[in-house]
């Protein structure tokens, strides 16, 4: 038998063995699989979805490890733990991921959001219905009076979360588009405070101009209009992304790659699990609506994950072999 045939035979045997383990509900990895549980709702919900599929479908034991984008990427690259980061906004950890892939300690298994992560500026739909000439960010210059805050002669623009890269981008883009002359750039101080401002104004049908991202519960629950911007320009963005940019330039926001990232042990030792994680992908609108359901029903991420598994079987059963799906479905009854 030639070397190439032996190699193919060994690979086939490995795949058959992995499939057999999955069919028996026995985990390919003989240790607890650590999953990063990020602080925002979509990432935590997806972590719980993957945990339940791994436990009920693949017979694995899982545990959650609190984390954020950079800290999780760092420990995965340096220590190989946690094993899985279900929703890593990769543009915020490019150098780390490049280092990890070069060393062979981490791999990008797949793109978890079909449309990528979307950053943009928004106004409520009812504002555009009343002022149909509002289509782009340039149009906002004519309507600053609508968005005036108490005690200021300028309109108010609600910026991104402090410390996020989109905070610097938004501040610089306000200058690039000349809107800093008509608007104060305001920080709500936290994600919760920004959400509260948006919801409060929306429920009272008041105008509000703000930065936000998708997928998110806010955009799943409330009708918002994304304002048009110039096309994304990587050359301009390199300065716009810096807090001390001296020459901000007109550009759009980049579409962010949001990936499932795994430690090398998953890719090397658990082919069936790696195949599953590579297949996990959500339409952004699906996540928006899922998170909105979670908020409307005061559901935590685990409860939201259970709702997804029970009510969106057409989506997740396509990620796994039928026997694995059947194992999960049996636990959901």
pTM equals: 0.80
124 - beta bridge partners? 224
pLDDT at 304: 97
The two most distant CA atoms of the chain are separated, in Å, by 84
Q: How far is CA 314 from CA 174, 218, 325, in A?
A: 42, 25, 11
Contact 117, 258 (CB under 8 A): yes
Task: Please indicate, yes or no, if residue 320 is contained in any of the structural domains.
Answer: yes
- Same-domain check for residues 165 and 79: no
Residue 283 belongs to a domain with what CATH number?
3.40.190.10
- Same-domain check for residues 58 and 139: no
For range 256-264, the mean pLDDT: 94
Based on the structure, what is the number of domains in the chain? 2
Contact 18, 272 (CB under 8 A): yes
- Same-domain check for residues 180 and 279: no
> Where does a domain end: 240, 274, 301?
240
pLDDT tens-place string over residues 30-62: 999 999 999 889 999 999 999 999 999 999 999
Would you put residue 82 in left (φ > 0), alpha (ψ -120 to 50) or beta? Answer: beta
pLDDT tens-place string over residues 91-133: 778 889 999 999 999 999 999 999 999 999 999 999 999 999 9
Owning domain of residue 143: 118-240
Task: Give backbone dihedrals phi and psi of 66, rounded to 5 degrees, phi first.
Answer: -60, 145
> Chain-wide mean pLDDT for the chain?
91
Task: Please indicate, yes or no, if residue 285 is contained in any of the structural domains.
Answer: yes
- Same-domain check for residues 48 and 110: yes
- Same-domain check for residues 189 and 202: yes
> Could you tell me the pLDDT band of residue 330, with boundaries at 50, 70 and 90?
very high
> Could you tell me the pLDDT band of residue 213, with boundaries at 50, 70 and 90?
very high
């Amino acid at each position: 038998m030639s070397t190439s045939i032996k190699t193919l035979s060994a690979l086939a045997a490995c795949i058959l063995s992995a499939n057999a383990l999955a069919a028996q509900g026995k985990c390919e990895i003989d240790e607890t699989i650590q999953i990063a549980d990020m602080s925002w709702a979509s990432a935590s919900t997806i972590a719980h979805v993957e945990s339940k599929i791994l436990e009920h479908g693949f017979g694995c034991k899982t545990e959650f490890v609190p984390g954020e984008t950079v800290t999780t990427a760092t420990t995965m690259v340096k220590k190989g733990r946690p094993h899985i980061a279900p929703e890593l906004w990769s543009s915020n950890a490019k150098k780390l991921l490049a280092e990890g892939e070069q060393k062979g300690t981490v791999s990008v298994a797949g793109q978890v959001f079909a449309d990528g992560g979307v950053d943009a500026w928004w106004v409520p739909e009812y504002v555009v219905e009343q002022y149909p000439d509002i289509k782009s960010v340039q149009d906002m210059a004519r309507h600053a009076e609508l968005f005036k805050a108490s005690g200021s002669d300028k309109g108010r623009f609600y910026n991104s979360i402090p410390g996020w890269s989109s905070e610097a981008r938004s501040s610089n883009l306000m200058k690039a588009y000349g809107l800093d002359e008509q608007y104060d750039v305001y920080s709500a101080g936290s994600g919760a405070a920004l959400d509260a401002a948006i919801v409060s104004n929306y429920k009272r049908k008041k105008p509000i101009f703000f930065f936000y991202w998708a997928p998110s519960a806010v955009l799943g629950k409330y009708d918002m209009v994304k304002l048009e911007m110039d096309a994304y320009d990587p050359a301009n963005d390199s300065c716009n992304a810096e807090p001390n940019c001296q020459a901000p330039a007109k550009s759009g926001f980049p579409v962010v790659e949001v990936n499932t990232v795994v430690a090398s042990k998953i890719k090397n030792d658990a082919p069936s699990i790696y195949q599953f994680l590579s297949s996990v992908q959500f339409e952004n609108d699906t996540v928006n609506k899922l998170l909105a359901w979670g908020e409307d029903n005061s559901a935590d991420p685990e409860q939201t994950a259970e709702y997804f598994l029970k009510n969106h079987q057409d989506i997740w059963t396509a990620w796994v072999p039928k026997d694995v799906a059947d194992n999960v479905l049996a636990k959901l009854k």
